[in-house]
Amino acid sequence: MPSAAELEEQAERLVLPRFGHDEAWRLGCLLVDLARARNAPVAIDIRRGAQQLFHCALTGSSADNDDWIARKRRVAERYGEASLLVGARFRAKGRSFEESSRLDPAHYAAHGGAVPVVVEGAGMVAVATVSGLPQAEDHALVAEALEALRAEL
């Protein structure tokens, strides 16, 4: 499991020059390609505020993954940081997110997989989320796809 410091450094590297509907589609396709190459039974979601820009449920995923996506995305939106980083910060203080955040665990999960899409000069503009793998792998898949998209832009 990566440390909070490692996740913070990673977040600094994942800043994009732009992000709109076309980039959301490309990011979603990159995530699908990466997941299929690994036979990963995941659901993938990209949202900008209330608008869902991309969603795909691959073989082996279920409605439970959509619930996890919503819970992890809410954490990323509320804290403005990756859900895995939020959880890591709580753990570093010897506390659990579920007990210490005062947020309903039925609606919020500080488990890896929801990563803010950050644009230079604009901040967080969307959240890309994966669910279906162990939390560090969900996060790593999103980070890998964001790095690939960044290299293309």
Mean per-residue pLDDT, 12-23:
97
Kindly state the average pLDDT of the residues 55-62: 98
Q: Mean per-residue pLDDT for 110-127?
A: 98
**For the residues 73-81, what does the mean pLDDT come to?**
98
75 pLDDT exceeds 90? yes
The answer for 120, left when phi > 0, alpha when psi is -120 to 50, beta otherwise, is beta
Q: Which domains does the chain have, with CATH numbers?
A: 4-152 (3.30.450.150)
Residue 28: per-residue pLDDT = 98
Mean pLDDT of 109-121: 98
Residue 108 near residue 101 (C-beta atoms within 8 A) = yes
pLDDT tens digit sequence for 29-50: 999 999 999 999 999 999 999 9
Q: pLDDT category, 71, cuts 50, 70, 90?
A: very high
Q: What is the pLDDT of residue 1?
A: 87
Confidence band, pLDDT 50/70/90 cuts, at residue 147: very high
Q: How far apart are CA 114 and CA 111, in angstroms?
A: 8
Residue 104 gets which letter from DSSP?
-
Segment 76-104 shows an average pLDDT of 95
Task: With cut-offs at 50, 70 and 90, classify the pLDDT of residue 10.
Answer: very high
Strand order in the sheet with 51-57: 51-57, 43-48, 123-131, 114-119
Amino acid letter, 139: H
d(CA 127, CA 46): 6
Task: Give the DSSP letter string of 25-79.
Answer: HHHHHHHHHHHHHTT---EEEEEETTEEEEEEE-TT--HHHHHHHHHHHHHHHHH
Alpha carbons 32 and 18: distance in angstroms, whole number: 21
What does the mean pLDDT of the chain come to?
A: 97
How far is Cα 6 from Cα 2, in angstroms, rounded to an integer? 6
Contact 124, 146 (CB under 8 A): no
Location of structure tokens 């439970």? 64
- pTM (2 decimals)? 0.96
